[in-house]
Amino acid sequence: MGSKIPTKFRLPQGLRKPAVVVEIGNDWLKVMEGTPFGQESVVTRVSFKKLVEIKEPVTVALVKIFKDMKLNTQGVIACIPRHLVTVRILEFPSTNPRDIRDMVSLQVGKQTPYSRDEIIFTYKTISVSAAGYTKVMLVIARRNLVNARVEVLQKAGIEVEKVTVSSEGLAHWFHMTYWAQTSPGKSKVCDNVKPEDQAVICVDIDSNYSDFIVLRQGDLVYTRNFLVGANHLLGEDTAWREKFGEEVAHSIGLYQNEDRAAKIVQLFLGGSAAHVPQLAQMLETKVEVPVVMTEPAHQIHLAKGLTLFGKDEGRFVSPCPLIGMSLGAAALELDLTSSELRIKKQMEGRRKQITVTGVLVLSIIMMLSTLFFIVFYGKSSYLAGIKRSIANIEKDASEVEQMRSSISLVKGRLNARKSSINILHEIGRLTPKEIYFTNINIEEDKQTVLQGRAAAMSNVFEFVTTLENSPYFENVQTTYTTTKKEKDTEYAKFEIICMHEKDTENFDNEALEPPPPQGAKE
């Protein structure tokens, strides 16, 4: 129990999902859960119930079993007993998977008396030869048998992930438990045969039938069933043991007719075989092949406190296929799921995808809406803050505006000395009595043009000097001066242009008071 489980069917890293397998047989209801952990896979829950002892409908019994054992109802594997399916080994002259699929589809109708609508089929590749031939295992089941079991599970609220045949689970179990004993050195027969030619047989004895499988290089290459089981072999009639031996020998002969290059090196008896007295010795004498008696739980890890069987169940029922399926669910190749169920699963998958997409879209919309609200709220808060700041400084701004207006008024009053009336006043103050004006043109902030007459030319020049000394004027120039005579009286006609002087700070009118004009009377 403490050793590792050698297995060829390795699971992907990280796969830790428990697998639940249900088999509804003719006389037993089997349920098993296994948790794959690579070489540390564990059988966690088991239930075997005889159908005749179940008083309520199977659907109700399944609901109770799943509830009591707390099993997951999603992704369950439905196991079809080997005696309810037909298996054919076919060889096709092609290695192209598409061609193989088409040829299988053409041949399936010839392998059964039922119409295509009445059957479900699946297949797996067994081998590909160097000559370009492909050998496949074709599995055919009646549609009503498969659908009846699936419907029972569905009515119990159980979602079926895959429907497979017990032979494949048996092959997985054998790999986990006894395949290492077929290696060179374990048997003289094995040492004398090339590994590629060795064939190993495993016969699994269930209650009412036995499953005969052949493995080559670890692959399931042949399967056959015969209706001799533990119910027959454990009875008092020894003829059933003879019948069992004959069926095994006949099955070996049929297989060797299919594959003449194979050499049977060992035969392993599984299921309830250990409870049948002298079965291995009888069979070894009949088939002339070394026979090994097996134990279902050999090399298998069981959950703490778990036992495979209660009372005498182990004497009549085989758990081997369910162990192989539950611990090697990811490696199952054969799938008898009906097209209707597959379409339903696809639609359900798409519905879930659409739902997830819708939730994601709504989440994105909500995130964008939240982001927009945050941005909008932030800007609104910022704007409200600006308004509050404006309201706080509005009073101060009004006071500043009033001060600015006062300053402008004072500034205007300070500049009033350059106004036209002040300039005219200054001209009148400076003008002597010998000069009078015919025209005064004052351009504010620019210049003043004086036109008039003087008693003598010297009066004009003295007046120009007086204007230059005034703080109001600068660059005083005479444009023209001329002497005229009128009624025997001579006078000087002139035009003077003077620029207005620029402002200066701390202007002192008294300091710049011009001297009285020459010739003016005190």
Contact 156, 63 (CB under 8 A): yes
Taken in order 256, 260, 261, 263, the sign of the CA dihedral is positive
Q: Right CATH number for 419-500 from 1.10.760.10, 2.40.128.20, 3.30.1360.100, 3.60.20.30? A: 3.30.1360.100
Position 16 scores a pLDDT of 61
Position 64 scores a pLDDT of 95
Q: Residue 223: CB partners within 8 Å, gap ≥ 6?
A: 82, 87, 137, 167, 211, 212, 213, 214
CA gap 134, 95 in Å, rounded: 6
Show me where the domains of the chain are located. Answer: 19-337, 352-416, 419-500
Per-residue model confidence as pLDDT tens digits over 213-243: 999 988 999 999 999 999 999 988 889 999 9
Per-residue model confidence as pLDDT tens digits over 327-366: 988 889 999 998 877 787 778 778 888 999 999 999 999 9
What are the C-alpha distances in Å from 370 to residues 23, 362, 375, 377?
A: 52, 12, 9, 10
More confident residue, 395 or 159: 159
CA gap 265, 279 in Å, rounded: 18
Architecture of domain 19-337: 2-Layer Sandwich (3.30)
pLDDT bin (cut points 50, 70, 90) of residue 519 is very low
What is the three-class DSSP state of 178? coil
CA gap 283, 249 in Å, rounded: 9
Sequential DSSP letters for 246-287: HHHHHHHHHHHHH-TT-EEEEEEEEETGGGSTTHHHHHHHHH
Q: Residue 124: CB partners within 8 Å, gap ≥ 6?
A: 136, 137, 220, 333, 334
Position 59 scores a pLDDT of 95
Angle made by CA atoms 289, 291, 296, in degrees to the nearest 5: 145
Amino acid letter, residue 372: F
Measured from the Cβ of residue 2, the count of other Cβ atoms closer than 10 Å reads 4
Per-residue model confidence as pLDDT tens digits over 61-71: 999 999 999 99
Mean per-residue pLDDT over the chain, rounded = 85
What are the C-alpha distances in Å from 353 to residues 12, 359, 500?
A: 24, 10, 91
pTM, entire model: 0.67
Q: Residue 522: CB partners within 8 Å, gap ≥ 6?
A: 516
CA gap 72, 196 in Å, rounded: 41
- Residue 34 pLDDT exceeds 60: yes
Instruction: Calculate the CA 384 to chain-centre distance.
Output: 42
CA gap 136, 327 in Å, rounded: 25
Using the structure block, give the residue that is written with the tokens 């699929």.
101
CA Rg, the chain, in Å? 59
CA gap 88, 185 in Å, rounded: 34
Q: Where are the beta strands (DSSP E) in 129-226?
A: 134-142, 160-165, 198-205, 210-216, 219-226
- Name the β-bridge partners of 1: none
Q: Residue 40: CB partners within 8 Å, gap ≥ 6?
A: 4, 5, 301
Per-residue model confidence as pLDDT tens digits over 97-135: 999 999 999 999 888 889 988 999 999 999 998 899 999
